Amino acid sequence: MKIATKYIHAGTTPDPSTGAIMTPIYQTSTYVQEAPSVNKGYEYARSQNPTRHALEEAYAQLENGKFGLAFSSGVAATDAVIKLLSPGDEVITAKDMYGGTYRLFSKIFEKFGIQFTYVDTTDPKNIQDAISAKTKLLWIETPTNPLMNITDIAAVSAIAKANHTLLCVDNTFASPYLQNPLDLGADIVMHSATKYLGGHSDVIQGALMMNDPALREQLYFIQKSCGAVPGPMDCFLVLRGIKTLHLRMQRHCENGKTIAHWLRQHPKVAKVYWCGFEDHPSYAIAKKQMRDFGGMLSFELKDESMEAAKKLLSSTKLFALAESLGGVESLINHPASMTHASIPRAQRIANGLSDTLIRLSIGVEDVDDLIEDLNNALN
Ligand SMILES: *Cc1c(COP(=O)(O)O)cnc(C)c1O
């Protein structure tokens, strides 16, 4: 089935009680049973909910996986994956990644005895060299937030298989429309559904997709035991968002491409980070594993002062200054003080994330209006 058809129908079947074409919001905490343990497969809503179930089916289909699981946020989904591990186990992960993931690894899980080794994953050899007998999980993000670095998913999954470790890919930036890591050999895909999947800046949610039934059982056990489940209204919002994912992504990609090229030739702009430029260091890999290049980009001004960055950040009118990304409206963000403030400054700078880097989440407005807004703010 082609993507457009799949996204419209994924997970939703007419409701058996009324024929409602859209899955109802089953706002209930419990289900009446005929006799102890004689029921319709629903006992208690932390464990099962029909709205969530429909969404989890959709999640599986979006990533060409057998199973999907929904969590109350992207970081709750990440938290569940790390809970597969035991004290003494090691995770090899990227130096350059979402600040909240780094905070969860370094400030929460390290104290429970899980070890994290941070390498430059854009060269898979660095992962291979870091692997030890304790390595149980490889965690990568591609493209990275906010520097748009690309890691070769197929190459890393070959390393994971050869060394009997799991590979989880944070696919938030690409969305399932652009990239499907399970098809490239990953064991688990993670999404912050808050971003492109929800797509309308009105819900916080996370997703995991996988193929292995045993892995699904372990993650489902963690989901119900730890309880970071989304409510039915939030599941409904993401189910609804998914139906237009392909339409939104087409426009995000078109607008992203136009603005990336426009910014690059602007006299006040020093550097644009966008993985669709043919001279991007990993362009060939991006082209191989992604269907298009998305609507996220970052840039630096020629004027490296904080005043210049701050002036721009507060001068746009259509681009709202806000954290988050992937919604229909365009956002402008200052990673050093906002989304990535939880990474220590020295480390952030060493990873290439400067104090004055500006990140854009290009929305689906008319691109001429977006360019006019940026142009006014830059001048
Ligand atoms: C936002 C984000 C997360 C965290 O998701 P939440 O839904 O905010 O908990 C993880 N990874 C990436 C790449 C993100 O952008």
Q: Whose CA is nearest to atom 5 of ligand 1?
A: 74
Structural domains in the chain? Answer: 3-242 (3.40.640.10), 245-378 (3.90.1150.10)
- Listed in order, strand segments (DSSP E) in 111-165 are 115-119, 135-141
Residue 96 pLDDT exceeds 90: no
Smallest CA-to-CA distance from 82 within 221, 225, 222 is with 222
Structure confidence at residue 197 (pLDDT): 98
342 pLDDT tier (thresholds 50, 70, 90): confident
- Centre of ligand 1 to C-alpha 190, Å, is 9
155 has a pLDDT exceeding 90: yes
Is 355 an active-site residue?
A: no
How confident is the model over 182-193, as a mean pLDDT?
A: 98
pLDDT tens for 104-121 read 999 999 999 999 999 999
Distance CA 267, CA 200 (A): 33
How many A from CA of 266 to the centre of ligand 1?
30
Distances (CA, A) of 109 to 94, 106, 136, 195: 16, 6, 14, 25
pTM: 0.96
> In the structure, what pLDDT confidence band is assigned to residue 7 with cuts at 50, 70 and 90?
very high
d(CA 253, CA 296): 9
Distance of CA 340 to the CA centre of its chain: 15
Q: What is the pLDDT of residue 352?
A: 87
**Nearest-CA residue for atom 7 of ligand 1:** 74
Closest CA to 340 of 105, 125, 101, 179: 101
Average pLDDT (166-175) is 98
Q: What is the arrangement of strands in the sheet containing 206-210, beginning at the earlier edge strand?
A: 67-71, 206-210, 188-192, 166-170, 135-141, 90-94, 115-119
pLDDT band at residue 145, thresholds of 50, 70 and 90? confident
Please determine, for residue 19, whether its predicted confidence score (pLDDT) is greater than 90: yes
Res. 343: pLDDT tops 90? no
Does residue 43 surpass a pLDDT of 90?
yes
For residue 48, the model assigns a pLDDT of: 97
Is the pLDDT reported for residue 351 higher than 90? no
Average pLDDT over residues 300-314: 94
CA 325 to centroid of ligand 1, rounded, Å: 9
Average pLDDT over all residues of the chain: 96
Query: Which amino acids bring their CB within 6 angstroms of ligand 1?
Result: 73-75, 98, 100-101, 141, 145, 170, 172-173, 192, 194-195, 204, 206
pLDDT reading at 339 higher than 90: no
Active site residue 369: no
Q: Which of the residues 83, 95, 136, 195 is marked catalytic?
A: 195
Q: Which helix (H) or strand (E) covers residue 70, if one does?
A: strand 67-71
On whether the CB atoms of residues 361 and 296 are closer than 8 A, the answer is yes
Whole-angstrom distance, CA of residue 78 vs CA of residue 84: 10
Given the residues 79, 170, 187, 292, the one annotated as active site = 170
Amino acid 335: pLDDT: 92
Q: What are the tens digits of pLDDT across the range 48-87?
A: 999 999 999 999 999 999 999 999 999 999 999 999 999 9
The reply to whether 216 belongs to the active site is no
% of the chain at pLDDT higher than 70? 100
Q: Which atom of ligand 1 is nearest to the CA of 76?
A: 9
Give residue-wise pLDDT tens across range 231-289. 999 999 999 999 999 999 999 999 999 999 999 999 999 999 999 999 999 999 999 99
